[in-house]
Amino acid sequence: MLVRSIDKVKTISWGNGLSRRFLLASDGLGYSLTDTLVKAGTQSPLQYLHHHEACYCIHGTGWVHDRDGTKHRLEPGVMYALEQHDAHVLEADPDGDMRLVCVFAPALAGDEVHDLGGDGHSAYSPPELRLAA
């Protein structure tokens, strides 16, 4: 059994917030579990070409824009899942940070970060490229 508290997990600044990574590939479960903080007033163009992701909002409010530009409201109790490696934009409302519990499959290695300064949507590199670096 794995038991971890938030103050003991790997924390990564992913670009527009923090990702507290509770479960990683090294845990051998095949998926990752993160507690993700999205900074107030930020917009993050994201895409996961090598992972599926599901996010459940537990605090704050914001929006997720799908690949067609449709905006879906995020608030505590709302979940979204990216089952087609969808390009999307994650937006936190300006009045406070948003917090999401996220599951990634396959599991994250743990050191992935986004490059939000470039054109297009930021994506994590595939695991085999991270291992070769």
Q: How many domains does the chain have?
A: 1
User: Residue 95: inside a domain, yes or no?
Assistant: yes
**CATH number reported for the structural domain that contains residue 66 in this entry:** 2.60.120.10
Span 22-47, mean pLDDT?
94
User: Residue 64: inside a domain, yes or no?
Assistant: yes
pLDDT in the model for residue 133:
40
Cβ-based neighbours of 20, under 8 Å, separated by 6 or more? 6, 9, 10, 11, 34, 35, 36, 37
pLDDT in the model for residue 117:
60
First to last CA, the chain: 32
pLDDT in the model for residue 131:
43
pLDDT in the model for residue 45:
86
User: Residue 15: inside a domain, yes or no?
Assistant: yes
- The angle subtended at Cα 90 by Cα 87 and Cα 95, nearest 5°, is 170
CA nearest to 81, candidates 97, 99, 57? 57
Question: Coil, strand or helix: which one is 11?
Answer: strand
pLDDT in the model for residue 127:
47
User: Residue 78: inside a domain, yes or no?
Assistant: yes
Asked if 41 and 93 count as a contact pair (C-beta separation under 8 A), the reply is yes
User: Residue 73: inside a domain, yes or no?
Assistant: yes
Q: Indicate the pTM of the whole model.
A: 0.86
User: Residue 1: inside a domain, yes or no?
Assistant: no
What is the tens place of the pLDDT at every residue in 67-110?
Answer: 888 999 999 999 999 888 788 899 999 999 999 999 999 998 88
Domain of residue 50 covers 6-132
Decide if pLDDT at 30 tops 90. Answer: yes
User: Residue 38: inside a domain, yes or no?
Assistant: yes
Span 6-11, mean pLDDT?
94
pLDDT in the model for residue 119:
60
